[in-house]
Structure 1
Amino acid sequence: MTDLSAPLDFARGPAWRNRLALAPLTNMQSNDDGSLHDDEYRWLVRRAEGGFAMVMTCAAHVSQAGQAFDGQLGISDDRHLPGLSRLAAGLRAAGAVSSVQLQHGGRRAETRLTGLPVVAPWDDPDKGAVALTTAQVEQVVQDFVDAAVRAEKAGFDGAEIHGAHGYLLAQFLDTRRNHRTDRYGGSADNRFRIIHEIIAGIRAATVANFQLGLRLSPERYGIVLDEARTLAGDVLADGHLDYLDLSLWDAFKEPYEEAHRGRRLVDVFMDLPRGATRVGVAGKITDVASAQSCLDSGADFVLIGKAAILHHDFARQALADPAYRATALPVSREHLEAESVGPRFLDYLATNWDDFVA
């Protein structure tokens, strides 16, 4: 049985000091131009000080057109480098491996913020989105590659490609609506293509020890579970990734699809051959027992979200106490302020997360 305190090594990049990583969490604490704000720096570095092995930023937009929410961290321009470099250095000094999550909002981007038209794999009048041309898709691939190079230049140990949660890359996976007639739509292989091209492009453009991950959500957003399993199997087999991050919302629930009922969602992926690529899971992991259950099921590591908001030192506490669990919700504003949750993040939690803030 693998223990949560066991170090984790990778084909590329530094080993992690334990099996607990900070999930990439929208926190709306960056400056309006995408540069790092002191509140976001404190929020992330405090988690590194709290014992998490790897600390990942929120989704950082790889192009101006991709910005999806207020206060979003940017990695789309060299003007973001000073703040990113400061953050990478702070995380390293606190003992954590560092990563930037790379994201494009697609049809979920906000013209109000970007000043640019909303783009998507298909025309979407309801969202005011226009279909990307083939050349524009190729530019999106390059934007992800350029952002990863920027992360490397800033001193981060690696990056994660955000292919989940209905943002642009997940939109290409949508079986319901991605009926493009070029090489990026229609068949499953075509819909997967943009992700494979981004992975290969980043691997070719970064140094040999750059640690690269991919986040996938295997349900919702028009994604079919069997296809998600196929894509996961593909990226595990090709050896370009160092880890696959499965965002399951609830790792222990049954799948939505009738054909897959009768087992937990986490178990759908654990038998896939993975070679040297590691597999992590996220979704309602708020105590040591559930984290350990994921490892016992075959995961290599777990990503902690809500519990890491509540406790900057969830990792340290979990490694010290097998019975440890996050405090029950709701919690006071004072509690969150003491955990280095800044005012904008606090307001976001109070407004958008039911029963989080008392």
Structure 2
Amino acid sequence: MTKVFEALSFPCGKTMTNRLMLAPLTNTQSEVDGRLSGEEIHWLSMRAKGGFGLTMTAAAHVNPLGQGFAGQLGIFSDKHLPGLSKLADKIKSQGSLAVVQLHHAGFRAPREVTGDIPVAPSPSEKFGARGLSHGEVQSLIEDFIRGAERAKQAGFDGVEIHGAHSYIICQFLSAEFNRRTDEYGGSLKNRSKVLFDIISGIRKRCGVGFLLGVRLSPERHGILLEEAVDTAKALFAAQEIDFLDISAWDVFKEPVEPALQGRSLLSYFTTLDRGDVRLGAAGKVYMPEDIQYCFEQGLDFALLGRAGILHHNYPQLLRDNANFVPNRTPVSREYLLAEGLSEKFLDYINGMWPDFIKEPEL
């Protein structure tokens, strides 16, 4: 497990002290207006103190219309800066890199949350969404860039652009959801223009020393694996980002497309020439041997989700004992409260993963 605790440098000049990132985890702990709550600051700063080399926030929406769920962190207004600044300072004071994930839900923004009709690259009767005008697409790009500028102003080391999980950038990448006929639709190059314009804008206005990553879905969510690979190739060729985060859901799986099976899903990305861009993945990385598998597959870092929920100090525990065995679910509410989660977060977990929390016996 020695590689886990090797430092990892990025092209921008930033360095992780180890190769474990806290995955961006929805936790519904922010205030109604998107400001960080003390509960969310506590949850994240505990992970930084627990030894994660990089601590990433949950998805932060860059426009009020892009809010994907109640209790979501916002980064669309200067009113968010005081809380973001406090969080960045707490994370960095523990020696962890501080990163905000930038997000817009697109047609996954519930009308009951935003109070308005969802927007998408193209109209969608299925999702009750209207298509963005040409000018609104350019405004969307600006929203992401301004979100990055706010993150930098607040003291964060960098940002990750959420281009996965059927959210708006993923929608633009998908031929299923993007049926535009302007320069933002049609070929994969055109469908990825929004993503690349955001990247170039952030790099231009936040500088070469600002850490910049992208999260992609490798399949499903309207994405074909071959096109996801082509997008990754283009990102690696451009050399404008510092890292690519593959949201695999399961790092051990094969592709869903039968014709592409016979090798691991990850191998389609780890075998690419990525230059200096670092590559990581998330998805059922839980046991120490799972982390080792990630490195054996050729990844530079691993993202921990549920493992980071259950153990705020997972990296420290692993560093102290290579044979460390993480706790398994279900666990009690009391245990999770002691690990820095709030009642709001526990309610969210209970709704998403009913087998996660052990209810007291009557």
* TM-score, normalisation: structure 1: 0.98
Instruction: Give, in whole Å, the separation in 1 of the partners of 2:13 and 2:74.
Output: 23
Paired positions, count: 358
User: What secondary structure sits across from 1:265 in the alignment?
Assistant: coil
Aligned to 2:159: 159
Question: Is 1:13–1:157's contact at 8 Å kept on the other side of the alignment?
Answer: no
Deviations 1:48-78 (A, max 9, x none): 0000000000000001110010100000000
Query: Within 5 A, what are the aligned runs for 1:172-251?
Result: 172-251=172-251
Instruction: Give, in whole Å, the separation in 2 of the partners of 1:168 and 1:57.
Output: 19
- CA offset at residue 175 of structure 1? 2.2
Aligned to 1:124: 124
Instruction: Give, in whole Å, the separation in 1 of the partners of 2:295 and 2:169.
Output: 28
**What's the Cα RMSD here?**
1.1
Instruction: Give, in whole Å, the separation in 1 of the partners of 2:51 and 2:277.
Output: 23
Aligned to 2:293: 293
**Aligned residue identity for 1:185:** G
The reply to whether residue 147 of structure 1 matches residue 147 of structure 2 is yes
The reply to whether residue 113 of structure 1 matches residue 110 of structure 2 is no
Runs of 4+ in 1 over 3 A off after TM superposition: none
Deviations 1:96-121 (A, max 9, x none): 10000000000001222222321001
Deviations 1:184-230 (A, max 9, x none): 11211111111111111100110321000000011111100000001
- CA offset at residue 122 of structure 1? 1.3
Deviations 1:220-262 (A, max 9, x none): 1110000000100110111100000111000001110112111
Identity of aligned residues (%): 47
Instruction: Give, in whole Å, the separation in 2 of the partners of 1:326 and 1:260.
Output: 33
Question: Is 1:175–1:224's contact at 8 Å kept on the other side of the alignment?
Answer: no
User: What secondary structure sits across from 1:4 in the alignment?
Assistant: helix
- CA offset at residue 42 of structure 1? 0.5
Instruction: Give, in whole Å, the separation in 1 of the partners of 2:236 and 2:207.
Output: 20
**Aligned residue identity for 1:341:** L
Aligned to 2:62: 62
**Aligned residue identity for 2:294:** C
Gaps of at least 5 residues in structure 2 are: none
Deviations 1:126-161 (A, max 9, x none): 322100011111110000000000000000000000
Instruction: Give, in whole Å, the separation in 2 of the partners of 1:192 and 1:208.
Output: 22
Aligned to 1:88: 88
- CA offset at residue 2 of structure 1? 6.6
With over 3 angstroms needed to count, the CA separation of the structure-2 counterparts of 1:275 and 1:2, relative to structure 1, is farther
Instruction: Give, in whole Å, the separation in 2 of the partners of 1:325 and 1:12.
Output: 35
Instruction: Give, in whole Å, the separation in 2 of the partners of 1:54 and 1:203.
Output: 20
User: What secondary structure sits across from 1:136 in the alignment?
Assistant: helix
- CA offset at residue 313 of structure 1? 0.6
Query: Within 5 A, what are the aligned runs for 1:294-313?
Result: 294-313=294-313
Instruction: Give, in whole Å, the separation in 1 of the partners of 2:170 and 2:164.
Output: 5
Instruction: Give, in whole Å, the separation in 2 of the partners of 1:7 and 1:215.
Output: 21
Instruction: Give, in whole Å, the separation in 2 of the partners of 1:13 and 1:99.
Output: 15
The reply to whether residue 316 of structure 1 matches residue 340 of structure 2 is no
Instruction: Give, in whole Å, the separation in 1 of the partners of 2:164 and 2:226.
Output: 16
Aligned to 2:20: 20
Gaps of at least 5 residues in structure 1 are: none
The reply to whether residue 32 of structure 1 matches residue 32 of structure 2 is yes
Question: Is 1:158–1:210's contact at 8 Å kept on the other side of the alignment?
Answer: yes
User: What secondary structure sits across from 2:293 in the alignment?
Assistant: helix
**Aligned residue identity for 1:174:** S
Instruction: Give, in whole Å, the separation in 2 of the partners of 1:230 and 1:298.
Output: 19
Instruction: Give, in whole Å, the separation in 1 of the partners of 2:264 and 2:318.
Output: 24
- CA offset at residue 296 of structure 1? 1.5
Instruction: Give, in whole Å, the separation in 1 of the partners of 2:13 and 2:171.
Output: 30
User: What secondary structure sits across from 1:268 in the alignment?
Assistant: helix
Aligned to 2:169: 169
Instruction: Give, in whole Å, the separation in 1 of the partners of 2:216 and 2:2.
Output: 24
Aligned to 1:101: 101
Aligned to 1:42: 42
Instruction: Give, in whole Å, the separation in 2 of the partners of 1:31 and 1:309.
Output: 21
Instruction: Give, in whole Å, the separation in 2 of the partners of 1:325 and 1:232.
Output: 34
Instruction: Give, in whole Å, the separation in 2 of the partners of 1:13 and 1:97.
Output: 12
The reply to whether residue 351 of structure 1 matches residue 345 of structure 2 is no
Instruction: Give, in whole Å, the separation in 2 of the partners of 1:330 and 1:203.
Output: 43
Question: Is 1:32–1:70's contact at 8 Å kept on the other side of the alignment?
Answer: yes
Q: Which moved more, 1:319-328 or 1:152-161?
A: 319-328
* TM-score, normalisation: structure 2: 0.97
